[in-house]
């Protein structure tokens, strides 16, 4: 799958779809790359293909066929990473509510937390939203138990 969106007037339904596609994805946070010269951030994910998008109940994902994906965010002005992952935790976190795009901000946060603090979050300030989701192949490494 390849999905690319950009511009100031991205419909809310498309932004909701991006969040749904990346909901429950595993972010390999140690491999996140921020290139301030290019104004670009690359977020490596192992995502579960979306089977059914729901408004009230949780989305339905195909957990039997994970996909390695790269989410590239362009037009990045600032990148703030909060990393509170404990030693020995591993190299992935599960995204809670997927990648959220609102106005000039892109946000992703982990489902894992301790005492109300998420283990990992990334907030990007952008001049104009521009995202691309690219699947690397038909299958990805299995999430660690």
Q: Decide if 140 is inside a domain.
A: no
86-122 pLDDT per residue, tens: 988 889 999 999 999 999 999 999 998 887 888 999 9
Residue 120, judged by CB atoms within 10 A of its CB (0-12, 13-18, 19+), counts as: buried
pTM: 0.86
pLDDT of residue 56: 65
47-60 pLDDT per residue, tens: 988 877 777 667 77
Q: Decide if 43 is inside a domain.
A: yes
Q: Decide if 63 is inside a domain.
A: yes
Reduced to 3 states (helix: H, G, I; strand: E, B; else coil), residue 49 is coil
- The number of helix segments (H) and strand segments (E) in the chain equals 1, 15
Question: Considering its fold, how many domains does the chain have in total?
Answer: 1
At residue 142, does pLDDT exceed 50?
no
Q: Decide if 142 is inside a domain.
A: no
Q: pLDDT confidence of 145, banded at 50, 70, 90? A: very low
Q: Which of 30-34, 48-52, 107-111, 135-139 has the lowest mean pLDDT?
A: 135-139
Q: In sequence order, what are the beta bridge partners of 68? A: 46
Q: Decide if 144 is inside a domain.
A: no
Structural domain of residue 28, as residue ranges?
2-135
Q: Decide if 145 is inside a domain.
A: no
């Amino acid at each position: 799958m390849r999905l690319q969106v950009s511009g100031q007037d991205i419909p809310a339904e498309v932004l909701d779809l991006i969040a749904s596609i990346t909901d429950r994805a595993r972010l390999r946070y140690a491999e996140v790359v921020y290139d301030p010269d290019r104004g670009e951030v690359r977020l490596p994910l192992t995502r579960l293909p979306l089977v059914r998008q729901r408004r009230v109940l949780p989305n339905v994902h195909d957990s039997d066929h994970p996909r390695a994906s790269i989410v590239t965010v362009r037009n990045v002005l600032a990148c703030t990473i909060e990393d509170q992952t404990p030693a020995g935790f591993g190299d992935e976190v599960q995204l809670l509510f997927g990648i959220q795009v609102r106005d000039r901000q892109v946000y992703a946060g982990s489902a894992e937390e301790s005492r109300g603090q998420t283990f990992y979050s990334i907030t990007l300030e952008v001049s104009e939203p521009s995202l691309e989701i690219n699947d690397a192949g038909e299958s990805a490494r299995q999430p660690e138990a």
